Amino acid sequence: MKHLFLILILVLFGNCIAHAEEPPENRASRGYFVGLGPMKLSGLNSPDAGYYFTGGYAFNYEKTLLKLNAEAMFRSGALVLTGGIGAAYFPKELVYKELNPFIGANFGIGTSRIRPNETGIGEWTTGFVFGPEIGVQFFRNSDVMLEVSGKWATFLESGSLGTPSYTVLKISLYFL
């Protein structure tokens, strides 16, 4: 019985070593994500850094990640709300590594409120929003993924102070 147990352990250990070089299977999955971070608004009369929150639904498959997302940003009376779609591309040679850099783009529709002036009246700008994103995902093949990314987006409409835009450094968790 002792020998049988020893043989079983050796077979299992040998099987683990034999498959150590093979990448894990990158399965198709879908689920929710949430994120937050600091952001900087431009064209909204808000000089301070503000707060950024995002959430949505994500579809993960091999080299791509597709997102349906909503974003909210605010600081010093300025407010930005957006919703849209996003996509991230992971280079093929790095898909099965623990550290997965990506490039992406986001497109949607949003509204922004300019910080009120001395009269207390703010101005709203509504229009399409577009911007690139670059970042790194960790644990891409697990049920919970961590993402650190930077994003810049601009409205395709202008307000009285110029074109609203924002820059974000965010941390997101994906539950797939």
54 Cβ neighbours under 8 A, 6+ residues apart: 33, 34, 35, 36, 69, 70, 71, 72, 170, 172
Residue 121 is predicted with a pLDDT of: 64
Tokens 């949003």, located at residue: 110
Q: What's this model's pTM, rounded to 2 decimal places? A: 0.77
The residue with greater pLDDT, 91 or 121, is 91
Looking at the chain, the whole-number percentage of residues with pLDDT higher than 90 is 47
Length of the chain, in residues? 176
Could you tell me if 77 and 122 are in contact, meaning their C-beta atoms sit under 8 angstroms apart? yes
For the segment 21-42, the average pLDDT, to the nearest whole number, is: 79
Confidence of residue 85 (pLDDT cuts 50, 70, 90): very high
Residue 8 has pLDDT above 80, yes or no: no
Q: CATH topology for 2-175?
A: Porin (2.40.160)
Pick from 150, 154, 152, 153: which is nearest to 171 by CA?
150
Pick from 112, 104, 33: which is nearest to 73 by CA?
112
Q: Report which residue type is found at 105.
A: A
Residue 53 is predicted with a pLDDT of: 97
Residue 129 has pLDDT above 60, yes or no: yes
